[in-house]
Structure 1
Amino acid sequence: MKLMDTQELSAFDINHHRYVARQIETGRATSQTVESSHEMLLAEVERLTYLVSPAKLKQPAHGVPVEASTFGPIIAVLAKQPRNASVVVEYLGRKSRPGSMGSYRGYHDELRIEPNGREPRTVADLLKDLRRFRRNGITGYKGGDYPVTDNTGVWVAEYGENSHQHVSGVRVDGGVVVIMTEERDW
């Protein structure tokens, strides 16, 4: 296992987080400021955990799939990957960039990741989006708001489509994090 070079990571600035805490206390903090601070704190905790004990992360070997088919396990596996690693999703036998996310047409209370992203996405980008859905829930394909739990299913599908491509796990191929799918019927 390659040890992470601490020089590659941005310096942790505790004063910034103290400033954000004061902004929260006075009611002047924006949700974007709080969310950004939260993401930086999570990244720092993950970095320190890695430096203290790489074995605690239990990262899968390259190419070895880790089963993760629901929200909680997917976030847990992604959180163990390098934040700047590129992410792709499998969709009907091909790999593509993850696009927007929302309600899956087949099950309105489950999450859909579109396989047509135009911009490269990193693990940090995907984790930020997934954590936002965990906090805010999913607005159903035909309306209605649904809470997101660790057991919420995740699908890869075009908007409005029932692809039957359910997320089955995560593996690392050549430094790229691959979200794997398998066909599932309703």
Structure 2
Amino acid sequence: MENNGFTKMFLALVAQAKQEDFKGKPIRSLGEVILLLKAQPESNIVRLDFTDDNPGGLISYRGYYEDLCLDYNSNAKPIRVGELLAMFKNAVGSTHTGYKGGDFTMSRQTLVWVAPYGSCGRMLTDIRSKDSITLIITSEDKESDIELGNAHPQLSE
């Protein structure tokens, strides 16, 4: 039992350090992503800002297993906002297996990334629509992160 207590304490310290590290970064939580998707036309096709691959399913993120990740690949069929919104809503309270094991339950506070299975990737930072396309906007996790307001001027009002 002491080991279990130590493990919980260790994980709490790691979570606290991660929270400090991500403070001020533009990454969105699962709850925020749901709200952003609700504001988009449900029939729009979803695209990613950095690849022609289509979004796929939701998985545990390779970088932080307790985080959620929107997978993408060239074999995935195009997806509409309504379908993606349903996937993200269903993710609240769901349990995902980490890349190297362990079960992780997702909450509205869970951070959301975009990456193919088994890889580290990009932070999901915004979701915007223009015409019949909804674009998932991402940013690399580094000090030179782009500002949300200047990320995609073609989608700015």
State TM-score, norm by structure 1: 0.57
Residue 102 of structure 2 corresponds to: 144
Matching residue's letter, 1:70? S
Instruction: Give the deviation of 1:95 after TM superposition.
Output: 4.2
Structure with the larger helix share: 1
Contact 1:84–1:124 (Cα < 8 Å) also in 2: yes
How many angstroms apart in 1 are the aligned matches of 2:102 and 2:88? 19
Instruction: Give the deviation of 1:68 after TM superposition.
Output: 6.7
- Say if 1:178 and 1:68 are closer, same or farther in 2 by CA, change over 3 A: farther
Structure 2: runs of 5+ lacking an equivalent: 1-25, 143-157
Residue 70 of structure 1 corresponds to: 29
Match of 2:48 among 85, 89, 95: 89
How many angstroms apart in 2 are the aligned matches of 1:81 and 1:171? 7
Contact 1:110–1:138 (Cα < 8 Å) also in 2: no
How many angstroms apart in 2 are the aligned matches of 1:73 and 1:96? 23
Moved over 4 A (4+): none
How many angstroms apart in 1 are the aligned matches of 2:84 and 2:59? 13
- Say if 1:179 and 1:157 are closer, same or farther in 2 by CA, change over 3 A: same
How many angstroms apart in 1 are the aligned matches of 2:111 and 2:33? 10
Matching residue's letter, 1:144? G
- DSSP-derived class of the 2:37 partner: helix
Residue 62 of structure 2 corresponds to: 105
The structure with the larger Rg is 1
Match of 2:86 among 122, 125, 128: 128
Instruction: Give the deviation of 1:137 after TM superposition.
Output: 2.8
Structure 1: runs of 5+ lacking an equivalent: 1-66
Aligned residue pairs total 116
Is 1:174 the counterpart of 2:134? The answer is no
Task: Give me the identity figure in percent.
Answer: 32
RMSD: 1.8
Is 1:183 the counterpart of 2:140? The answer is yes
How many angstroms apart in 2 are the aligned matches of 1:173 and 1:139? 35
- DSSP-derived class of the 2:55 partner: coil
Contact 1:70–1:152 (Cα < 8 Å) also in 2: yes
Contact 1:68–1:74 (Cα < 8 Å) also in 2: no
The structure, 1 or 2, with the larger RCO (C-alpha pairs under 8 Å, 6+ apart) is 2
